[in-house]
């Protein structure tokens, strides 16, 4: 057996061993997670997070305007 065949065979064996180890780990682990509406700090109502700021809205508006302008310019140059 040549050195190249030996290393290829060894590589396949190591890969197969890793696959078997991953499958065994995946089958050995079980878990259940339950979330309730008042789970920790995440369940607390956050009114500030729901209100978009005017700066954010203006940024999005300007971004959409710029992209629309780019599309319009591309159509003009393609025709």
Q: Which domain holds residue 63?
A: 1-31+52-77
Location of structure tokens 């190591």: 14
Predicted model pTM: 0.35
**pLDDT for res 23:** 86
Give the integer Cα–Cα distance in Å for 23 and 29: 10
Average predicted confidence (pLDDT) for the chain? 78
Is 66 a member of any domain?
yes
Residue 60 — very low, low, confident or very high, per pLDDT cuts 50/70/90?
very high
Is 36 a member of any domain?
no
Q: Mind giving me the DSSP string for 14-75?
A: HHHHHHHHHHHHHHH--------TT-GGGGS--HHHHS--HHHHHHHHHHHHHHHHHHHHHH
**pLDDT for res 68:** 92
Is 47 a member of any domain?
no
Say yes or no to pLDDT of 27 above 90.
no
Is 43 a member of any domain?
no
Of the segments 5-9, 34-38, 61-65, 69-73, which one has the largest average pLDDT value? 61-65
């Amino acid at each position: 057996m040549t050195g190249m065949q030996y290393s290829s065979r060894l590589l396949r064996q190591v890969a197969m061993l890793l696959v078997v180890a991953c499958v065994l780990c995946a089958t050995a682990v079980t878990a259940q997670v339950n979330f309730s509406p008042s789970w920790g700090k995440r369940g607390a109502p956050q009114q500030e997070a729901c209100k978009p700021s005017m700066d954010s809205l203006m940024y999005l508006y300007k971004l959409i305007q710029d992209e629309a302008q780019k599309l319009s310019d591309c159509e003009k140059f393609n025709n």
